[in-house]
Amino acid sequence: MQFKPFIIRDKTDVAKKIAFNFLKKIKTTAISKCNIIVVIGGDGFMLSIIKKYQKFKKPFYGINSGNFGFLMNKFIQKRNNYRLDKLIQTKLYPLKIVAKNKKKQIKKQIAINEVSILRQSRQTASILIKKNKKVLIKKLISDGLIVSTPAGSTAYNLSAHGPILDLNSNKLAITPISPFRPRRWKGLTVSNKSLITVKNLNINKRPLSVVSDNVEFRNIKEVIISNDPNKSFILYYDRNKSLMKKNRVELIKKSQK
């Protein structure tokens, strides 16, 4: 299938150079006529573009000009042929969050990688965690908490010693950040159909922020996190470089430590 891309690039010099060379090989088109959106940048840039352009309901193909580029593909200078039918498709299901701050303002957002609840001051966070109607932790004293999708389980979640989730696991990871009480609580995995509620137990003394991938909302009172079954995004990868393979490589590396 012919590659008919609409291209968006980051503002870095590396992204600019890659876009210049890519445009020598591929003819671009308007977003209304394209069959794929090519994103040149890093993982953070890709996440922001997916959210911004989701309304067009087009698949995405990333070219890495950042650091790790877990969501991206490597740009190969000598490559001349790009075809959709030669690529591997991965579907991502984002989380939906509804956050309420102490002024009762409500913020709605989606998260493709993870939702992070973080302490906002020198004071540790004091958090209650519920799954559906069941209280999981009455009081978590920590630097915060991460709720991660399988796609995001190898990112911030892994750095906080959370589990790597297979992309087809239908699971979410709940991972504490530097837990003080309960000191040995390592978190847990739950079904992606779970409704997770996080409450700030001391809003004034221990303020919290919630970060949805790279969008922050401060002074939160409560965050409700759930899977969004009506929303999904398609990412394309070069063969042998799929997100599934990258995910499993990280899982093997972790098991060998």
- pLDDT at position 254 is 72
- pLDDT at position 256 is 65
- pLDDT at position 229 is 77
Q: What domains does the chain contain, in order, with CATH numbers?
A: 5-92+232-255 (3.40.50.10330), 95-227 (2.60.200.30)
- pLDDT at position 245 is 77
64, β-bridge pairs = 41
Neighbours of 24 (CB within 10 A): 7
CA gap 201, 222 in Å, rounded: 9
Q: Which residue from 170, 162, 174 is spatially nearest to 223, judged by alpha carbons?
A: 174
Quick check: is 166 catalytic?
A: no
- pLDDT at position 257 is 64
- pLDDT at position 222 is 97
Collect all residues with Cβ–Cβ distance below 8 Å to 97 and sequence separation of at least 6: 107, 108, 109, 110, 111, 115, 210, 212, 223, 224, 225
pLDDT tens series, the chain, 257 aa: 788 999 999 999 999 999 999 988 888 999 999 999 999 999 999 999 999 999 999 999 999 998 878 899 988 888 878 888 889 899 899 999 999 999 999 999 999 999 999 999 999 999 999 999 999 999 999 999 999 999 999 989 999 999 999 888 999 999 999 999 998 899 999 999 999 999 999 999 999 999 999 899 999 999 999 998 788 999 999 887 777 777 777 777 777 66
- pLDDT at position 196 is 98
Catalytic residue among 43, 143, 228, 238: 43
